[in-house]
Structure 1
Amino acid sequence: MKYFDYAATCPLDPEAADIFVKASTDYFGNSQSLHETGSTSANLLESCREEFARMLGVDSAGIYFSSGGSESNFLGIMALLSAARKNGNHIITTLAEHSSVFNLMKKLEREGWEVTYLPLDEKGLVDFESFLAAVKEETVLVSIHHGNSEVGTVQPIKKIADFCRDKQIFIHTDCVQTFGKISIAGIAGSVDALSISGHKFYGPKGTGVAYINPRVAWQPFIEGTVHEKGFRPGTVNVPGIAAMTSAAQKVHLTLPEEAKRLKALRSTLLASLSNSKDRFRMFGSEGEEQLPGILGMGIIGVEGQLVLLECNRRGYAISTGTACHTGMLSPAKTMTAMGIEGKAAKEFFRISFGRFTTDKDAEDLGKILADLTVQVSAF
């Protein structure tokens, strides 16, 4: 099977796997224990914390380890709400957030919070003027993803964060799709909280990072929690964190070269569609506003689910959107957020490139997609 669903999850890096086994064997102590075995684990944990702080360009006091992006989103948002700088009950987010954020917002609405859901423009981007128009005196929090998981657009988080700082509004951003793909150091230094997931950059599943600016005086979500300075309960997964840190170091070191390679793969696939390009819809933006590894598209008149099944039959794994949404009857969140409805929304499918994607794989997939347009026209 040729894998084109790296935006959903990545295979575990072999070196990270080796580190996981070694850490599980040699650093198995509970990092909260006061004996030497526990202290050894605690020292490894703090080394990982320092390393993520270095890669993000932030204070290590703000780095917390979690079970993944969803938990980091949930606890990060709740931490900011527990420390709101001013009185108010208004939150701004988008219609295209990951389910871990979107569902939390719906829960907060039921509890009395007012939430504004911003749409995306035709390129899949948050319009800054629309954002400004949504801000109220009662706005205490903004939560907007950095990289869109379905069409790959990169939101203007730095610009939004600068505005929020001046207005005493907290800002959280989901960086699950962008860490390891583009530099987020400038973003990390501008926001109040962000989220990262280990399995999106070849680390193990069940690992993640939340950053909360140390200046934020947040309160534990569960009172009496002691792990990760009260951020989350449960014994810390030191072996998983060590493996995730190893994977992060590798993608961090190769980031510019890999981004260039992914951009070339994208060009190769699009070039193989050139003879039938009028049958395709392309979603997203260009340049620095676009992650090169994610390509959202659709074949006019063909449901994305059918395209997925046909590709799968031929040995190519693609998707019809974020894995946390797949299987639902409703269209991908980003299509709805962009105002694309009905049959056009259901045509959407996503291709995402990664470490083991070759130029030939991309070219061959493009030929399969082009061939599908011919088959459909024959009926």
Structure 2
Amino acid sequence: MRKIYLDYSATTPVKKEVVEEMLPYFTENFGNASSIHGFGQDAKRALEKARAQIAATIAAPADTVYFTAGGSESDNWAIKGVMRANKAKGNHMITCKIEHHAVLHTCQALEKEGVEVTYLDVDSDGMISLEALKAAIRPTTVLISIMFINNEIGTMQPIQDIAQIAHESGVLFHTDAVQAYGNVKIDVSAMGIDLMSVSSHKIYGPKGVGALYIKKGIKIQNLIEGGAQEKKRRAGTENVAGIMGFAKAAQIAHDSLEAHVEKLVTLRERLLKGILESVDYVKHNGHPTLRHPGNVNVCFEFIEGEALLLSLNAKGIGGSSGSACTSGSLDPSHVLLAIGLPHEIAHGSLRLTIGDFTTEEDVDYTIEALKEVVQKLRMMSPLYDRIQGGK
């Protein structure tokens, strides 16, 4: 049986070059980067080299990049850290209803501390309204946090415009760029980004490593206390091996970005076209053009997404019904509900995300498998049978 992985937005395989970069830091250059002896200083030099490499991929100074355990920690730190450190300015922040739960749950936790949060609506494509954003800003607004690219439907927000609106009112701007990093050219200065979260395992690097970009001069409180690592801002012995892998993956992604995007877009359009032409009663979700280059999110009417995933898995195809962080939930995606889909349609969602190792043969096999699986599942649906009988 073929094995086809189409869940690259959940995680990516670690590239061989990345593994090779990491290996010496497990067995040879294993020192603690905080130690003053030679072993530690070798690790420290490697760590700072990696920091500079990652900073260069977003056109940022090296000393504005702080290593974390991943995107969720970076989101938590950015939002909690800024809101807690700037209480004198105000207690209000703005986000939107389709954010990753690392942002939404952080906002809900802050509400228990007295922070007031405005959750912006999105349109049927998942785009926020810039006019609604402007109208939501108050004199007490401290932070706007809007994700760069949505992890489920792939919609890309107008980041530069959002940053400009924020700065015109003296408000800080954070973006969760976990899905964008490695798939879009990012220049934090030109785009006006004040804080940005990224993750290694979405760009063919190891899991458990991420970073938070913090523009110089930003007032932010620590999230993790303890040692003096990361310029006394993020305690904990640095995962040097993981960070070296992250930096290597970031460099590869940066250097091959144009070819990477071109390949993903070509395969994405082939997959979407094949699905829409092969299966009826299908809705494509997300913005038609301003989207993640490898994301295809569709809803199939009259079937359940979980049954669809299990049937595809039986054919060797790995997909998703949405965010991997909520895959154990039977509730419809909060993203799909926010763009206006009724529960019965949202329940039939499928997210297929393409990556560097996807082939045309993989795409064509998936289209044929989907056609067969959807037809089989619909034959068991009384509602579909009723509609077909009415034709």
Matched, 1:298 2:299: yes
One-letter code of the match for 2:350?
F
One-letter code of the match for 1:336?
L
Matched, 1:344 2:345: yes
Say if 1:378 and 1:4 are closer, same or farther in 2 by CA, change over 3 A.
same
1:332: how far off? 1.2
CA distance in 2, matches of 1:335, 1:187: 32
TM superposition score normalised by structure 2: 0.93
CA distance in 2, matches of 1:222, 1:307: 41
1:26: how far off? 2.5
Alignment deviations for residues 159-199 of structure 1 (CA, whole Å, 9 cap, x no partner): 01111112111111100001001112257751111111100
One-letter code of the match for 2:336?
M
Structure 1 unmatched ranges of 5 or more: none
SS in 1 for 2:27: helix
Say if 1:269 and 1:187 are closer, same or farther in 2 by CA, change over 3 A.
farther
User: Who is 2:388 aligned against?
Assistant: none
The question of whether the paired residues in 1 share the 8 Å contact of 2:298 and 2:351 is answered with: yes
Alignment deviations for residues 301-335 of structure 1 (CA, whole Å, 9 cap, x no partner): 11111111110011100001111111112111211
User: Who is 2:365 aligned against?
Assistant: 364
1:25: how far off? 2.1
User: Who is 1:283 aligned against?
Assistant: 285
One-letter code of the match for 2:269?
S
The question of whether the paired residues in 2 share the 8 Å contact of 1:147 and 1:291 is answered with: yes
1:176-255 equivalences under 5 Å are 176-186=178-188, 189-223=191-225, 225-255=227-257
The question of whether the paired residues in 2 share the 8 Å contact of 1:75 and 1:231 is answered with: no
The question of whether the paired residues in 2 share the 8 Å contact of 1:318 and 1:352 is answered with: yes
User: Who is 2:319 aligned against?
Assistant: 318
User: Who is 1:11 aligned against?
Assistant: 13
The question of whether the paired residues in 1 share the 8 Å contact of 2:71 and 2:178 is answered with: yes
User: Who is 1:269 aligned against?
Assistant: 271
CA distance in 2, matches of 1:309, 1:188: 44
1:274: how far off? 4.4
User: Who is 2:384 aligned against?
Assistant: none
Say if 1:30 and 1:171 are closer, same or farther in 2 by CA, change over 3 A.
same
Say if 1:106 and 1:137 are closer, same or farther in 2 by CA, change over 3 A.
same
User: Who is 1:77 aligned against?
Assistant: 79
The question of whether the paired residues in 1 share the 8 Å contact of 2:127 and 2:157 is answered with: yes
1:99-248 equivalences under 5 Å are 99-186=101-188, 189-223=191-225, 225-248=227-250
**Aligned residue pairs, count:** 378
1:377: how far off? 4.5
Alignment deviations for residues 25-48 of structure 1 (CA, whole Å, 9 cap, x no partner): 232111111112111111111111
Say if 1:114 and 1:85 are closer, same or farther in 2 by CA, change over 3 A.
closer
One-letter code of the match for 1:254?
S
CA distance in 1, matches of 2:337, 2:238: 38
Moved more, 310-319 or 278-287: 278-287
Considering only aligned residues, what root-mean-square deviation do their CA atoms show, in Å? 1.7
SS in 1 for 2:117: strand
TM superposition score normalised by structure 1: 0.95
The question of whether the paired residues in 2 share the 8 Å contact of 1:86 and 1:168 is answered with: no
One-letter code of the match for 2:307?
L
User: Who is 2:383 aligned against?
Assistant: none
1:23-102 equivalences under 5 Å are 23-84=25-86, 87-102=89-104
Moved more, 54-63 or 368-377: 368-377
One-letter code of the match for 2:330?
L
Structure 2 unmatched ranges of 5 or more: 381-391
1:361: how far off? 0.6
CA distance in 2, matches of 1:300, 1:188: 43
Alignment deviations for residues 126-163 of structure 1 (CA, whole Å, 9 cap, x no partner): 12122122211211111111110001011111101111
CA distance in 2, matches of 1:171, 1:344: 34
CA distance in 2, matches of 1:196, 1:223: 21
Moved more, 91-100 or 369-378: 369-378
SS in 2 for 1:273: helix
Taking only the aligned residue pairs, the percentage that are identical comes to: 36
SS in 1 for 2:184: coil
CA distance in 1, matches of 2:79, 2:213: 11
1:282: how far off? 0.3
CA distance in 2, matches of 1:267, 1:196: 26
Alignment deviations for residues 214-271 of structure 1 (CA, whole Å, 9 cap, x no partner): 1213232345541111222210011110011111111111111111111111121123
One-letter code of the match for 2:174?
H
SS in 2 for 1:312: helix
CA distance in 2, matches of 1:267, 1:222: 43
CA distance in 2, matches of 1:12, 1:344: 35
1:19: how far off? 1.4
The question of whether the paired residues in 2 share the 8 Å contact of 1:58 and 1:189 is answered with: no
CA distance in 2, matches of 1:111, 1:195: 23
